[in-house]
Structure formats: C-alpha cells, structure tokens
Amino acid sequence: MTLLSLLAIAVALAMDAFAVAVAAGLTLDRVTPRRTFRLAFHFGLFQALMPVLGWAAGLTVRSMIESWDHWLAFVLLAFVGGRMLWEAVRGGDGQREPRDPTRGWTLVVLSVATSIDALAVGLSLAVLGESIWVAALVIGLVALGFTAGGLHLGRLVGGLERLARFANVLGGLVLIAIGLRILWDHGALAWLR
C-alpha cells in the first residue's frame, strides 16, 4: 500500500473522530490543554489499536478467503463509507453530550464508537496481506491530530453541524474510492479498462 493510500485511509477514519470532537467542543464551556490531551490521546489510541485487532482477526481467516479477499476488502470499506454517508445525510446522531465528553465512561464509549470503522480497515489490510504496524501508527497519529483540531474548532466557531456532516461525507467517499481502487488493482474491474 502506498503512503498516499495509507494517509487517505487515516484521514477518512479520522473524520468520525473529528466530527465527534467538533460536537464535544460545542458542548464544553472551555477547552483546556488537559481536555484536549484526554480526548485526542484516547481517540488516537483506539484508532491505532482497532486496526491491529481487525488485522489479527483477519490473519486467522486469510488462507480461506484469498481468492476473493479484494471483494471482502471492498465490501467492508464500502459498508463503512456508506454508513458514514448515511449518517451525514440522516443528520445528527446524538453525539452531543451534556456532560464533559473528555472524562469517564463517556470518553471510553466515544473512543470505541469512533474507532469501530478502523477494525474493519484492519481486517481488510490482513486479507490483502498488508503490514499493520506502520498503518496503525499513521491512523492513530492522524486521528489524534484531527481530534485535537476538531475540539478546538468546535469551541471556537460553534454551530458547525454542517462541517461535521461534510467531514463524514468526505470520509465516506474516500473509503469507497479506496475500496474501488483495491478492486481495480486486483483486476476485478478489468471490464472497465
């Protein structure tokens, strides 16, 4: 996988974290360095760990699905991307929390919720025979940066629900495009050439 593809995947996965961070910034009375660290660290950590878990699970079934693994990768990426598009079209999904979203169980739940997509990406990388370690690091660092930026942006600007929707639309389209690229690279779309 090229570095550009990896960065595109990382940015697409970070869009959920960015959208939640913007919403969190809107709910907080002030954004402190401590709150920024907590949210960005946890989102980045979970975004880095989930692909590793998905990759490990994918290694166990890789030999059974090698002949159609590119289709599985496409379906997983298209599903995640389609879900992101659906959420953007459907509107807000209750991510605004009245309590401090950078603490306690709320932080853990948000960390898991924003990183589920990364689990599917890790599974896709495993079935394609890609290494996970650099990918997990890049995905985690990009999510960390997007989370910190989104938290501050949400607090500074306020009322950015449309920006969060745009981020989900962009992330969904990028994941679907990467899935199509995988099909193209494996010759599954040879009839288009």
The string of pLDDT tens digits covering residues 12-44 is 989 888 988 887 887 777 889 999 999 999 999
| Interval 134-152 mean pLDDT | 95
Most confidently modeled range among 114-118, 121-125, 169-173: 121-125
pLDDT of residue 118 exceeding 80: yes
pLDDT of residue 112 exceeding 80: yes
Do the beta carbons of residue 119 and residue 56 sit within 8 Å?
no
- The set of long-range contacts for 104-110, using a CB threshold of 8 Å and a minimum separation of 24, is 107/38, 107/39, 107/42, 108/42, 110/20, 110/24, 110/42, 110/43
pLDDT of residue 193 exceeding 70: no
More confident residue, 106 or 168: 106
Q: pLDDT at position 96, please?
A: 44
Domain boundaries, the chain: 3-192
Do the beta carbons of residue 52 and residue 122 sit within 8 Å?
yes
Token pair, residue 3, equals 């570095």
Most confidently modeled range among 19-23, 88-92, 107-111: 107-111
Do the beta carbons of residue 97 and residue 24 sit within 8 Å?
yes
Instruction: Give, as one character, the DSSP assignment of residue 129.
Output: T
Do the beta carbons of residue 57 and residue 126 sit within 8 Å?
yes
Q: pLDDT at position 43, please?
A: 96
Question: Token match 């079209």: residue?
Answer: 89
DSSP letters for 28-86: -S---HHHHHHHHHHHHHHHHHHHHHHHHHHHHHHHHHGGGHHHHHHHHHHHHHHHHHH
pLDDT of residue 95 exceeding 80: no
Most confidently modeled range among 20-29, 49-58, 89-98, 173-182: 49-58
Most confidently modeled range among 97-106, 115-124, 140-149: 140-149
| Interval 91-114 mean pLDDT | 72
pLDDT of residue 120 exceeding 80: yes
Q: pLDDT at position 8, please?
A: 92
Instruction: Give, as one character, the DSSP assignment of residue 128.
Output: T
Helix (H) / strand (E) containing 7? helix 3-27
Instruction: Give, as one character, the DSSP assignment of residue 189.
Output: T
